[in-house]
Amino acid sequence: MNADPWQREFDVALGAVRDGALLARDIREHVGDRALLKADRSPVTVADFAVQALVAHRLADAFPGDPLVAEEDAAVLRGSAGRTTLDSLLAALRSAASDLDSNSVLDMVDRGRGVPGERFWTLDPVDGTQGFVRGDQYVVALALIVGGRVQIGLLGCPKLSLSDEPGDDYGAIACAVRNRGAFRVSLAGHEFIPLRVSSCRDTHSAQVLRSFEADHIDLDAFNAIVRTLGVESQPTLMDSQAKHAVIAAGRAELLIRIPATKSFRDKIWDQAAGSLIIEEAGGRVTDLRGARLDFETGRLLNRNEGVVASNGLLHTAVLDAFRGIMTES
Ligand code: AMP
Ligand code: MG
């Protein structure tokens, strides 16, 4: 794939996401889905730490000066409750990163505490940890941000098929480089196939995606928009930026994320890779008021409330429906 001017960055990131996704799948099969609780009560598993350590290690080797802004840190692993998890983590990394010992693995996880700057990487090692635990969708999400704009986005999707072709049930990577298009490549293969959003122009026949976890969104407002648009089929519930890959591949038209509270702000690693992939596949991504996502405001999307992602053709219909609902309430 032509990733000019980011060829080296893309090649390193693709290798890291591919190996990270395979590692996560392997951990789910052989180590299991046991989760610890973080300070905010959200679950974290061996896979979250292992993938973060692996990707951080690859990026540190190739681009030692680049900050990494990632979801996890090693705080729980350094405490006594984390001892068993740390042992499982070291065992899981034995073949993928055999040179990491218990100190260096903690340091690699903590590389994710980098500060966003002019150029940095952002990583969600297991986006959709709840999906991972449940046996549903999850992805490894990595993006390079330069000057506040996403330049490279990759989603390693171990449980997602992006085509109906036989043999494509092994999992896929969706990826994009700014101005170079969006592609899928099998987790096992090396053939890049272009991704293109759907050409659906009618909201009635649109397929709509939302978070599996109902408490991640304002469900009443979501249902009101779907009703206003006259969408006929039931929304599909899906964890993580697997939703973004599905829209980029033209297998659904709309993703609507209305935060449960007005003050909630999404994390940059939950939107960066997916938004570039949809845009490069010909779609559109904005917040609920139509503003572009601003990746220049730190670890959170501080200037954006919610997310609308679409095939482009149906975008203004969603923004209009949201405005109508806000005016009514
Ligand atoms: P999704 O499955 O699309 O909701 O995306 C999963 C992401 O939602 C996780 O990576 C979390 O960062 C994020 N998340 C966790 N709690 C919430 C919440 N209460 N509201 C919105 N997003 C959340
Ligand atoms: Mg996430």
- DSSP symbols for 188-246: T----EE--------GGG--EEE-SSGGGS-HHHHHHHHHHHT--SPPEE--TTHHHHH
Residue among 48, 73, 218, 287 flagged as catalytic: 48
Lowest-pLDDT choice from 87-96, 138-147, 261-270, 312-321: 87-96
Ligand nearest to the CA of residue 240, numbered in listed order:
1
Does residue 52's CB lie within 6 angstroms of at least one atom of ligand 1?
no
Binding site membership of 310 for ligand 1 (Cβ less than 6 Å)? no
**Which ligand sits nearest to residue 299's alpha carbon?**
1
Mean model confidence pLDDT for the chain: 95
Could you tell me if 141 and 269 are in contact, meaning their C-beta atoms sit under 8 angstroms apart? yes
pTM over 0.85: yes
Asked if the bond preceding 5 is cis, omega within 30° of 0, the reply is: yes
Provide the H-helix boundaries in the chain. 7-30, 46-62, 75-78, 83-92, 102-110, 129-134, 219-229, 242-248, 272-280, 315-328
CB count in 10 Å sphere of residue 278? 31
Q: 121, 141, 122, 118: which is closest to 131 by C-alpha?
A: 141
Tens of pLDDT, residue by residue over 113-131, are: 999 999 999 999 999 999 9
Give 226-283 pLDDT, tens digit per residue. Answer: 999 999 999 999 999 999 999 999 999 999 999 999 999 999 999 999 999 999 999 9
Residue 168 has what pLDDT? 63
pLDDT for 62: 98
For ligand 1, whether the C-beta of 29 sits within 6 Å is no
Q: Is 270 in the pocket of ligand 1 (CB under 6 A)?
A: yes
The pLDDT value recorded for residue 95 is 86
From first CA to last CA, the distance across the chain in angstroms is: 48
pLDDT at 167: 62
Q: How far is Cα 92 from Cα 46, in angstroms, rounded to an integer?
A: 8
Instruction: Give the model's confidence band at 310: pLDDT under 50 very low, under 70 low, under 90 confident, else very high.
Output: very high
Q: Is 274 in the pocket of ligand 1 (CB under 6 A)?
A: no
Tens digit of each residue's pLDDT (9 = 90 or more) over 149-195: 999 999 999 999 998 877 666 899 999 999 999 999 999 889 999 99
The answer to whether the beta carbons of residues 293 and 287 sit under 8 Å apart is yes
Give the residue whose CA is nearest to atom 17 of ligand 1. Answer: 216
191, 272, 44, 72: CA torsion to nearest 10: 110
Give the pLDDT confidence score for residue 245 in this predicted structure: 98
Catalytic residue among 45, 85, 122, 129: 129
Do residues 271 and 277 lie in contact, with contact meaning Cβ atoms separated by under 8 Å? no
Higher pLDDT residue, 221 or 83? 221
Of 274, 63, 59, nearest in space to 176 by CA: 274
Q: Are 261 and 159 in contact (CB under 8 A)?
A: no
**For ligand 1, mutation pick of 138, 142, 211 (most atoms within 8 Å of CB):** 211
Atom of ligand 1 nearest to the CA of 213: 4
Proportion of the chain above pLDDT 90, given as a percent: 87
Q: Does ligand 1 have an atom closer than 6 angstroms to the CB of 267? A: yes
**How far is 142 from 151, CA to CA, in rounded Å?**
11
The span from the CA of 271 to the CA of 295, in Å, is 9
Tokens 């903590």, located at residue: 110
Residue of the CA atom closest to atom 21 of ligand 1: 216
User: Is 107 considered catalytic here?
Assistant: no
For 2-51, write each residue's pLDDT tens digit. Answer: 999 999 999 999 999 999 999 999 999 988 778 888 888 888 999 999 99
Nearest ligand 1 atom to the CA of 239 is 2
Distance CA 200, CA 313 (A): 7
Give the integer Cα–Cα distance in Å for 189 and 87.
32
Clarify whether 286 is annotated catalytic. no
* 83-92 helix and 7-30 helix, angle to the nearest 10 degrees: 120
The residue behind tokens 């996890």 is: 72
Q: How many residues does the chain have?
A: 329
User: Cα separation of 76 and 38, whole Å?
Assistant: 7
Contact 56, 66 (CB under 8 A): no
